[in-house]
Structure 1
């Protein structure tokens, strides 16, 4: 049974925190922990999560981090993963989203054990419109040519990866032209390098494991779609990462 860490970056999610965390504590899996990062919310999300942990006697399962200043989801993810063990599997769950059912972590474990993969990407269903997402398996020719940045984006939620793989990303590739961690498009900033390093060790899971909340008014695509597209193009133009061999992988762990 693999050790799994669920990281929840969250900002102003007082409306969604309970559904989010309830889907996590309900997981039918033993070897996991949760790190909830409240990014200096102004709507009492931190206090509400703290109360949820107390009410559900989940202090040993859920670690709550409360930032004194807002730094953004990507920097929160980076800072948190640096403190994780290399052999842990990280699942990223946004603070306004939730797991599709209580067997999500069990499914992730099965895929890692059976395929010896290094990372996964999957399928989601949006809420409240109940539409299946656009994720799909990346074609073999794209993988062989290492052309992930040249094709349409299809590596969506649910995403998971080994900590050692994430730590292999150069920090400078996560910094935007504005000198800070990408405030939008952080998913692409981390996924492209890991896909390039993993090749066929990245596995697609077609089963819906993730519910993506499109009702939240502060979703990136609703805040500044133009900036989101511009940052995505910058990330796509960055230098590709080389494929990691087993020997190279061993040097990272």
Structure 2
């Protein structure tokens, strides 16, 4: 039975950790470890988290010596992981008890699969379900896929050996870190979508991807996309030249407008239907 490393990058979310912890220890799949890296939280996160994991050797807890941001912390999580598979779980979110088992089962079906992912459900601050995020779908993976609009999201399980083939998560990123990870991994294989809800995404005022952080995340994602275009040696998209140097977010997103149009989406839907899945 392969081991999975569940990776948790924490900053000031200790008060929500109980739900996250409970969801991990209730997994139907039991060969797992949890790597927690705290990014110098200023609340009582460390105390709260250590209280729950005390005495359980499956949980490994680490702290940054200074606040470094999301990219650095998530990269450190992966550097410390020892499982054949990895998946990030935010400390303020939770997963359903069969999430790990079901997603790992998909890897047995094809050697081309390097990652699996599922639907998520938005929840209120108390983790009460609100609505399923309907935009997550099976992608048709090619060099022009940039996850615009968003189609890949949590819960995302991937092979660690594939991650080690990449340059790794950009440690300087403050947000759009998961997008950076997805796009790098997809250059080495395909991701399989499982059309079930496995992830509980908590909506609250302090969430890193919500409210005031959205504009910053949009800018970071544009930079990630531009870096991906350069890495993939793409110089022209839809007849338009890709800027040699990054200019601004709008210039990057405008290159991908054609991917939101109906003809392109229909064609991709047809291609996806005829994949090996």
Q: TM-score, normalised by structure 2?
A: 0.75
For residue 127 of structure 1, the aligned residue among 123, 130, 133 is 123
- What is residue 11 of structure 1 aligned with on the other side? 11
Counterpart check, 1:215 vs 2:204: yes
Q: Name the residue aligned to 2:63.
A: 66
The superposition leaves residues 122-168 of structure 1 with CA deviations (integer Å, 9 ceiling, x where unpaired) of 21001126211121111x3xx2x421127422110111111122222
Bigger shift: residues 203-212 or 218-227 = 218-227
1:79 has 2:76 as partner:
yes
How many Å apart are 1:221 and its aligned residue? 2.9
In 2, Cα distance between equivalents of 1:41 and 1:132: 30
Conservation of the 8 A alpha-carbon contact between 2:14 and 2:91? no
Uncovered stretches (5+) of structure 1, i.e. residues with no partner:
176-180, 243-253
Where do 5+ consecutive residues of structure 2 fail to align?
233-277
1:245 matched to which residue of 2?
none
Q: Is the 8 A contact 1:221 1:228 kept in 2?
A: no
8 Å CA contact retained: 1:11, 1:40: yes
Of residues 204-213 and 189-198 in structure 1, the stretch that sits farther from structure 2 once superposed is 189-198
Please tell me whether the aligned partners of residues 35 and 81 of structure 2 are also in contact (alpha carbons under 8 angstroms): no
- Give the alignment of 1:185-200 within 5 angstroms: 185-198=176-189
Residue 84 (structure 1) shift? 3.2
- Check if 1:43 corresponds to 2:43: yes
Q: CA RMSD in A?
A: 2.0
In structure 1, the residue corresponding to 2:131 is in which secondary structure?
Answer: coil
Aligned to 1:249: none
Match of 2:89 in 1: 93
Aligned to 1:23: 23
Contact 2:75 2:170 survives alignment (8 Å): no
Higher relative contact order (CA 8 A, sep 6+): 1
Q: Distance in 1 between matches of 2:81 and 2:6?
A: 11
Instruction: Judge conservation of contact 1:4–1:91 (CA < 8 Å) in 2.
Output: yes
User: Are the structure 2 counterparts of residues 127 and 238 from structure 1 closer, same or farther at C-alpha, using a change threshold of 3 Å?
Assistant: same
SS at match of 2:101: helix
Contact 2:183-2:228 at 8 Å conserved across structures: no
| Equivalence for 2:157 | 160
1:32 match:
32
**2:22 match: secondary structure:** helix
* Paired position in structure 2 for 1:250: none
Q: CA deviation at 1:216?
A: 4.1
Give the C-alpha shift of residue 232 in structure 1: 1.1
TM norm structure 1:
0.82
Aligned pairs for 1:166-245 within 5 A:
166-171=163-168, 174=170, 181-198=172-189, 201-240=190-229
Alpha-carbon contact 2:4-2:87 (below 8 Å) kept:
yes
